[in-house]
Structure 1
Amino acid sequence: MEGLLRAYFTNENTAYDASCPGLALEKDSALTAFCEAMTREDEEPLLPTQIYVGMWRGAHIKLLAHILAAWKSTAQHPLLQIQAMNMEGVTEDTASFDRVMAVPFHAVDRVEDIPSLDAFLHVIGGARGLLTLLGIRCTVGSQVVCPPTRAQCMDAFNRKHAAESSSSILTIGARQWTKHVQRCLNGWWGQNKGSEAAKNAIAAAKIAELLDATVWMNVHGLPNGPVVFEIRQAEGYGARWGFQGNEVHFRGFVEPYMENGHELSWRH
């Protein structure tokens, strides 16, 4: 399955339409960016023990291959495993989820070559349906853009906050952690104390914890801002990265959604 997907997303099969019509992406630039992001390899793959718990390591295409292979072998729809999230103030657009859930088993069971794969992608709703199958949620403002890999997210998190000439070793992620930790009175984020090295270690452990426990992911646009990749664990704690193509930067941590969150500066 992975070989078939790789041939499709890298246009290795020149006998077929190289525009990947099943993805339903109108602009060539959007198609190219989506396919490149799907096949990006930047660390050894490690799939989560549960499909929709934790952000996977390795290329997105490997998780997709795992999901489709499991669907074909068990005849069980993979989206039955996705965890429902009730976040106050956030309304999911379930149109894509409902469409993919309605796909009959024979549609995926017939996938064995490039044309049948393209037909399957058309049935699930193109690139949007593919993201849904990968566990990426859809809300108002969601974008049909493939998210960065886990390795890209960690690289952005671990970059130095200060200029290279500075003696400070505090990372961008740790800097954001020191600014955010006081927002939660129950100590969920830990305590802001110790050396810069200690803060880097605490922040790195916290982001790894979030990535390992992720059950909700979204790619959306912020008002007057960039495209953002957002993750959250079951209680609603999470993190955000802004990205454009291969340029990824860590934006900060987020608190669980709450009523009047902005007015309260998300302190709870």
Structure 2
Amino acid sequence: MALQPYIYLASMISGLSYEGVQGLLGLIHTPGTISTALPPPRSTLLASFNMPYKPNIKSSALTHGARALAKHIYRSSNKFWGSLDGNDFNKNRLAVDVVNRLIEHCSWLNVHFVAPHGFLFEIRVANGYGARWMEDGKPYMQDGHSKGWIH
């Protein structure tokens, strides 16, 4: 009796080490890489990216992702990030488009230690642009946990 292909695939994957699974997923290894880490699910990354940046301020609809984009958009002389114009809704929409493009075209993924920020999940596209989250997929925020930020 022939086995289903998913059984063969499950058998192959279960025989891999963490490093093997990381390689299969495209994670790279650097001196700061967490050897047993796997990337957070895309759904976790997008959910945290779309969390309100200032949830306690009624008039603010800006997301964590749009806030991060606003901080970095002017660092690109070739307009890689696009143009951040308009209201919070427009900024949020551009940010989602950008992060989806980064995720779809990333050529470099790593879960690693970056001083002084700690352990991060980071993605990069071929020309070096990218995004980062805390290692568990929460929005990256310098000193966020010491400031009482929780997911």
TM-score tier (shorter): 0.7 to 0.9
The answer to whether 1:243 aligns with 2:132 is no
Aligned to 1:183, which of 57, 60, 75? 75
Matched residue type, 2:33: S
Residue 146 of structure 2 corresponds to none
Aligned pair 1:195/2:87, yes or no? Answer: yes
Q: 1:170 aligns with which of 62, 68, 71?
A: 62
Shift of 1:165: 4.8
Partner Cα separation in structure 1 for residue 70 and residue 61 of structure 2: 14
Matched with 1:209 is: 101
So what's the TM-score if we normalise by structure 1? 0.46
Give the whole-Å Cα distance in 1 for the aligned partners of 2:47 and 2:38. Answer: 17
CA distance in 1, matches of 2:89, 2:133: 23
Three-state SS of the structure 1 residue aligned to 2:38 is coil
Cα shift at 1:2: 4.2
Q: Which amino acid aligns with 2:18?
A: A
TM-score (structure 2 length as normaliser): 0.79
Partner of 1:264: none
CA distance, structure 2, for counterparts of residue 3 and residue 151 of structure 1: 26
SS of the counterpart of 1:137? coil
Measure, in 1, the Cα distance between the counterparts of 2:31 and 2:134.
17
Post-superposition Cα deviations, 1:163-188, rounded to whole Å, max 9, x if no partner, equal 24522111000011111100011111
RMSD (Å), alpha carbons:
2.2
Distance 1:2 1:149, change over 3 A: farther
In the alignment, structure 1 residue 146 sits paired with structure 2 residue 20: no
Q: Which has the higher contact order (CA 8 A, sep 6+)?
A: 2
Q: 1:69-88 alignment to 2 at 5 Å? A: none
Runs of 4 or more above 6 Å deviation = none
Aligned amino acid, residue 250 of structure 1? P
Give me the whole-angstrom Cα distance separating, in 2, the residues matched to 1:158 and 1:129: 31
Q: How many residue pairs align between the two structures? A: 136
Deviations 1:112-132 (A, max 9, x none): 7xxxx76x43xxxx2122211
CA distance in 2, matches of 1:149, 1:3: 23
Aligned residue for 2:22, secondary structure, equals: helix
Structure 2 spans left out of the alignment, 5+ residues: 142-151
Aligned 8 A contact 2:84 2:94 in 1 = no
Q: Could you say which structure has the larger radius of gyration?
A: 1
Counterpart of 1:131 (choices 17, 22, 46) is 22
2-structure distance, mates of 1:209, 1:138: 23
5+ long unaligned stretches in structure 1: 5-64, 69-110, 253-268
Partners of 1:141 and 1:237 in 2: CA distance:
20
Specify which structure has the higher proportion of helix: 1
Q: Secondary structure at the match of 2:82?
A: coil
